[in-house]
């Protein structure tokens, strides 16, 4: 055997492993859903089901992010923007989390504060960011979640707001650092924010790149995530 071919690039190994993990998780999720459908109604509505459903969704989001970051690193993540109906997009994002929202007793609402019925962006990439932020919002929310879309300075802004305790002060003050990756002082991986920032930056128009912003407050008073798309 040629010595030069004895090892594989580690990132390629990780990406392949993550892909297999994602397939296994999909099979596990499907099997769990079939099992739950055969359970008595009183067991189906147990709080533990909400935990399981949410963690399945959270794990899937993390695996999608890892694969996305690998593809970004090797320039294999093309951006395919197109026009999409905003109300259809926003309803679809919440529909994916409906079971978890019901189990967690969280009321999710949405609104569109722009006259434009269409948005121009890569639906799959933006949806992966929104899904991850919703997962995190569900984890910290009390009983309410608001997904909204607004427009400012010719930029589309997708907002996710919850009624939880909000983002830690250090994350807000140092959010530019958190989107750079792991922060050893807080224990946060920063993976979600890093991924969101990279996806946002792939959207560009007239020299203006997309970006993200986190804060506390908004309509519900908790964490407020904003994704700016030019």
Residue 3, pLDDT > 60, answer: no
Mean pLDDT of 20-31: 83
Mean per-residue pLDDT of the chain: 83
Better-predicted residue by pLDDT, 67 or 138: 138
Please give the share of the chain, as a percent, with pLDDT higher than 70: 86
Q: Which fold has domain 82-229?
A: Heat Shock Protein 90 (3.30.565)
Q: For the chain, how far is it from start to end, CA to CA, in angstroms? A: 52
Residue 186, pLDDT > 60, answer: no
Task: Put the strands of the sheet holding 211-216 in their side by side order.
Answer: 107-113, 144-152, 155-162, 223-229, 211-216
- The first and second tokens of residue 199, run together, are 């996806």
Residue 89, pLDDT > 70, answer: yes
Q: Which H or E element spans position 208? A: strand 208-209
**Distance of alpha carbon 14 from its chain centroid, rounded?**
21
Residue 107, pLDDT > 90, answer: yes
Please give the share of the chain, as a percent, with pLDDT higher than 90: 40
Mean pLDDT of 25-52: 78
Question: What's the predicted TM-score (pTM) here?
Answer: 0.76
pLDDT of residue 1: 44
């Amino acid at each position: 055997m040629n010595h030069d071919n004895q090892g594989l690039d580690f990132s390629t190994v990780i990406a392949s492993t993550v892909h297999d993990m994602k397939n296994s998780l999909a099979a596990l999720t499907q099997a769990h859903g079939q099992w739950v459908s055969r359970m008595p109604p009183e067991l189906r509505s147990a709080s533990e089901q909400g935990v399981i459903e949410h963690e399945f969704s959270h794990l899937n989001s993390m695996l999608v992010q890892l694969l996305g970051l690998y593809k970004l690193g090797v320039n294999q993540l093309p951006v395919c923007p197109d026009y999409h109906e905003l109300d259809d997009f926003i309803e679809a994002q919440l529909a994916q989390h409906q079971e978890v929202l019901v189990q967690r007793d969280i009321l999710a609402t949405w609104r569109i504060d722009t006259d434009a019925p269409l948005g121009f962006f890569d639906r799959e990439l933006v949806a992966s960011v929104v899904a991850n932020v919703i997962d995190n919002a569900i984890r910290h929310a009390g009983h309410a979640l608001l997904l909204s879309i607004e427009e400012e300075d010719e930029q589309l802004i997708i907002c996710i707001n919850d009624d939880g305790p909000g983002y830690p002060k250090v994350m807000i003050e140092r959010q530019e650092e958190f989107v750079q990756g792991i922060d050893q002082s807080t224990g946060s991986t920063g993976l979600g924010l890093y991924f969101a920032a990279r996806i946002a930056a792939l959207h560009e128009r007239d020299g203006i790149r997309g970006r993200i912003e986190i804060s506390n407050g908004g309509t519900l008073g908790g964490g407020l995530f904003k994704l700016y798309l030019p």
